[in-house]
Homo-oligomer: A and B are copies of this chain.
Amino acid sequence: MAAVKLQVLKKDTKTKARLGKLYTPHGIVDTPVFMPVGTQATVKTMSPEELKDIDAKIILSNTYHLYLRPGHELIKKAGGLHRFMNWDGTILTDSGGFQVFSLGDLRKISEEGVEFRSHLDGSKQFLSPEKSIEVQMALGSDIVMAFDECTPYPSTHEYAEKSAQRTTRWLKRCKDSLTTTGTQALFGIVQGGMFEDLRKQSAREVTELDLPGYAIGGLSVGESKEIMYEVLDYTVPLLPENKPRYLMGVGSPDALIEGAIRGIDMFDCVLPTRIARNGTAMTRFGKLVIRNAEFADDFSPIDPTCDCYTCRNYSRAYIRHLIKADEIFGLRLMTIHNLRFLINVMGEIRQAIQEENLLEYRNKFFAEYGYEK
């Protein structure tokens, strides 16, 4: 029996969207879902109780960072990542692939894996499919991502093809390495750049392995949203209906809606938490830069339609003061708001699928929020 299973509750008749429940060893997650990112075994600024309060059910954590610090063996000794960080909800860990490939000159790729220099102390390190799975098994995450190359954009057809083929070969090694399939589910990642033939080839090879879930990688890497949606248009239908589909690294509200419309079940992104700490709030009416002088004596909440702790208790003027004064509580309030906003949007998406008016919801949302390129 697989550790993670998607139950599709309803398929939208006008779009490819679906409503589901993702069963995991640490709880049931309503889908489509947005996953907050907790890179270093903490969603920046937030406590686990606050994550529950905003109704986060699943978070993502980063193999690369935890491997380097504090080390996966230490976390294993602590009883796994859930216990180490006091989070009893679902955890998905990425593979570290994205981070090591992003190191540029500091990494060297071979068929065996990637040798790289730690960004912390310059020490020589090595990640491979086997090592990434070993680390993720030590972490004990519910969903384990395959060690892949996120194909850069732009790439030539030749590079994207070689890269996607290696990702497939590495996926097989990942699958062979994971010995904890009763409690951990391996998701394969479809690559292939912006090339339809390569995406088809990758999707065919990856889905042949009959894994508990599939991700679409290599998007939101610099291409336009039109291109991203086009890739989703032809890639998502290649994935099995009864398995969860995860669009990696995407978290702008418009892309969440467009992704759901195209049949995506899971999303993650550092965007909402990162811009929160820079003082930018996401609201139903577009972004709000809280440092702006216009908010100095604005005693209304960030978003009057929002039900989050921040909007229920604090004014724009107060939050602006905290952010300008470099006060940590300001970063907390902004983070709570942005995450709750996206989680609320996901709830509205699910409700719209249920009520079969997702396209109307999208149009109304875009009219208020503005479409982001």
Contacts and interface: CB of A to CB of B under 8 A. Distances in A.
Q: Which among A46, A65, A78 has the greatest number of chain B C-beta atoms within 10 A?
A: A78
Contact of A329 (B45, B78, B322): B45
Copies of the polypeptide in the assembly: 2
Given A40-B322, A42-B322, 5 more contacts: A47-B332, A69-B325, A74-B317, A84-B315, A84-B317
Contacts of A179: none
Contact of A45 (B77, B297, B328): B328
Nearest to A79: B299
Nearest to A336: B47
Give the contact-size bracket for chain A: 35 or more
Nearest to A65: B325
A331 B46 CA distance: 11
B78 A317 contact: yes
A324 interface: yes
A314 interface: yes
A187 to B, nearest CB: 26
Nearest to A73: B297
Contact of A41 (B41, B79, B313, B318): B318
Given A86-B314, A327-B44, A69 B297 contact: no
Contact of A297 (B77, B297, B324): B77
B328 A297 contact: no
Interface in A46-93: 46-47, 65, 69-70, 74, 77-79, 84-86
Contacts of A321: 40-41, 69-70, 74
A211 interface: no
A91 to B, nearest CB: 15
A296 interface: yes
20 contacts: A40-B322, A40-B325, A44-B329, A45-B328, A65-B325, A69-B321, A69-B324, A69-B325, A70-B317, A70-B320, A70-B321, A74-B297, A74-B317, A77-B297, A78-B299, A78-B315, A84-B317, A84-B318, A86-B314, A86-B318
